Each structure stands twice: as C-alpha cells, then as structure tokens.
Amino acid sequence: MTTSTRDPEDEAAIRDLIDAKVAATRARNATRATAPFAPDALSFDVVGPLRHVGAGAVGQRAEAWFSTFRGPIGFDLLDLRIVVGAEVAFAHSLNHVHGTVADGRELDMWWRETLCFEKLGGRWMITHAHDSVPFDAETGKASLGLKP
Amino acid sequence: MTTSTRDPEDEAAIRDLIDAKVAATRARNATRATAPFAPDALSFDVVGPLRHVGAGAVGQRAEAWFSTFRGPIGFDLLDLRIVVGAEVAFAHSLNHVHGTVADGRELDMWWRETLCFEKLGGRWMITHAHDSVPFDAETGKASLGLKP
C-alpha cells in the first residue's frame, strides 16, 4: 500500500493551469489556451472526430473555434471540482460560453469538461481532456441548449 | 514537494474494476455495472441531461439502456490507458458496443469514455465518469457512426 500527502502547492498549481486556460479562452489566445497540455495529450472534443492526439491538434481546434467569434468570449466554469493526488489529478466542470459569432448570432452554450493531469518532470500538465455535450436519443441531435 | 510510488496493486485494482464493469455490461447486469461507482459519483452521460449525481442515477441509466437490447451486448474497449497515482487515477478508452436492439435493428456504435478514480477508505472507486459522442457542427447531429 502506498500513501501520499495531498500538497496544497499541487492543488494551487492545477488551479493556476485551469485559471490560465480560462483567461486564454476569454482572450481568444490559442497559444496560451494550449500551453497547459502535454505534447502527447489525448483529447476527446465537443465536435468530431472521435479523438485528437497531441497538443498541436488542441491548438488548431482552439484557433479554429476562437476564430468563429467576434470580440471577446464570455467563458465561465460552474461547479469546478479538483481532485489532486501526488502525481495524478483530475478536474471536472460545466463550462458556459457566450458571445457573438461571426454571422452575428448570439451563442450561449453549456458543455461538460473533464481534465486529467499528470506531474511530469516536476511540472503538472494536462495529458487528457474530454469535452462534450450530450445528445437527445429521440432526435439524434446534440443538446446544445441545456442549462444546469 | 511530494512523491508517491505507483503501486502495481493499485493498477491491478483499477483494471479489475474496469474489467468487472465491461463484463457486467456484456451481461446486462446494471447492479454489477454500477458497483465500482462511489455513492456520490458525478457522471456526464452520452445522452442528457448535462449531468447525473450519484451511483443510483448511474444504475438507473444502465438499467434503462440495457433494457433496449435483445440478448447479450457486444462490448469492447479500444486503446484503454490507465494512469494510476497513490490516491487518484484516471482511465480513458474508446468503447465499442454492438448488438440487436428491441426493434430488431443492429446497433454498432463507438463512444469515448473517461473514468476518474479515488482511493477512499482503502478502496478504489469511480467518483467521476464522462461518456460522450462528438457532434457534427454542420448538422447539429450527434456523430453516432464514427469508427476509430
């Protein structure tokens, strides 16, 4: 059996990564939004394909998504829970985005996010991310209008 | 700074929980499929709502889903990766289900799964699960026919 101490510094480091990602999203800065990801991070995104491999793919997706907005993005996390071990951590939240998209429509959408972290070479990084909306089994449509 | 030993027993325990969940799904046994979940587990499911709170909700969903099949469920995990710390762990996979549903149609579908574990009172349990398919931004439809 192993034991570990939950270090407040580890929890603060994870929180800083999440805060930085939120701030970068609001500022539509794909480089900073991607910085917390490990080079070989595996991500399951809100839209297809099934998975993306690598931080490069995360950055390209962020760039493409940010470019669909006019001006800054309203972005907040609800019910963020962070669980931190000595070398492995995870966090989950309901993410709320609102803003004006390129064609002038107002986007106001919630999705679910799970982030998984590993401490690699003394530095916490996101090695796995899962973002999604559920779908409606009756219509086969993604449920883009749900609110918590 | 804290350090931890990654214990092969912890990894084996996590793997056993995942194997048991797979076997229970194939057997359409909702009670056994739900057994690895902590009582207050938070889950993001493939279909709405946005989230479910508690193992009871996971069990009800499993029961409802299993009842849509005729006979056993073909169920396999692809590219399962398990990352185990001293007290916190996570796993992700692409899950493949195939079988005959109640109206006689053949279901053959892939989805993404992320499971997050905590060692609570010396016992590993799933405290968070995230299951989803991506959607197609052009059509707004859930992408139910994707294959890895």
At B29-83, the pLDDT tens digits run 999 999 999 999 999 999 999 999 999 999 999 999 999 999 889 999 999 999 9
Q: Contacts of residue A52 in chain B, CB cutoff 8 Å?
A: none
Instruction: Summarize the confidence of residues A122-138 as an average pLDDT.
Output: 97
Q: How far apart are CA A33 and CA A46, in angstroms?
A: 16
What pLDDT digit, counting tens, does each position of B117-126 carry? 999 999 999 9
- The three-class DSSP label of residue B122 is coil
Encoded tokens for A136: 């409606």
Complex-level ipTM: 0.95
Please list, in sequence order, all residues whose beta carbon lies within 8 angstroms of the beta carbon of residue B100, skipping any fewer than 6 positions away.
Answer: B69, B70, B71, B106, B107
The secondary structure of chain B in percent helix, strand, coil, rounded to multiples of 5, reads 25, 45, 30
What average pLDDT does the segment B120-148 reach?
A: 97
Average pLDDT over every residue of B13-34:
97
A117: closest CA among A87, A80, A77? A87
Interface A-B, measured as beta-carbon pairs within 8 A, has a size of 173
**CB–CB contact B9 A1 (8 Å):** yes
Measured CA to CA, the distance from residue B56 to residue B38 in angstroms comes to 10
Write the DSSP assignment of A56-97 as a string of letters.
Answer: HHHHHHHHHHHTTEEEEEEEEEEEEEEEE-SSEEEEEEEEEE
Residue numbers in A near B135 (CB within 8 A):
46-48, 133, 135, 142, 144
Q: Which of A100-114, B1-15, B40-54, B87-101 has the lowest mean pLDDT?
A: B1-15
Instruction: Record the pTM.
Output: 0.95
* pLDDT confidence bin for A49, thresholds 50/70/90: very high
For residue A2, pLDDT over 70 is answered with no
pLDDT of residue B7: 82
Amino acid at B89: A
Report the alpha-carbon distance of residue A89 to residue B80 in Å, rounded: 18
Please say if the pLDDT value at position A15 is more than 90.
Answer: yes
Task: Give me the numbers of helices (H) and strands (E) for chain B, helices first please.
Answer: 3, 6
Task: Give the mean pLDDT of chain A.
Answer: 94
How much is the average pLDDT of A51-69?
96
A121 three-state secondary structure: coil
CA distance B62 to chain A (A): 15
Q: B93 pLDDT exceeds 60?
A: yes
**What pLDDT does residue A136 have?**
97
What do you get for the CA distance between the two ends of chain B, in Å? Answer: 39
Cβ pair A85:B85 closer than 8 A: yes
Q: Average pLDDT in the B1-21 region?
A: 80
**pLDDT band per the 50, 70, 90 thresholds, residue B4:** very low
Q: Which of A2, A117, A138 to mutate to test the interface with B (most CBs of B within 10 A)?
A: A2
Chain A residues whose beta carbon lies within 8 Å of the beta carbon of residue B110? 50
Q: Sort out which chain B residues have CB atoms less than 8 A from A3's CB and list them.
A: 4, 86-87
Instruction: Please state which CATH number belongs to domain A8-132.
Output: 3.10.450.50
Check residue A3 and give its pLDDT.
39
> Above 70 in pLDDT, residue A4?
no
Nearby residues of A5 by Cβ (< 8 Å), 6 or more positions away: A86, B2
**CA proximity to B123, closest of B59, B40, B36, B57:** B36
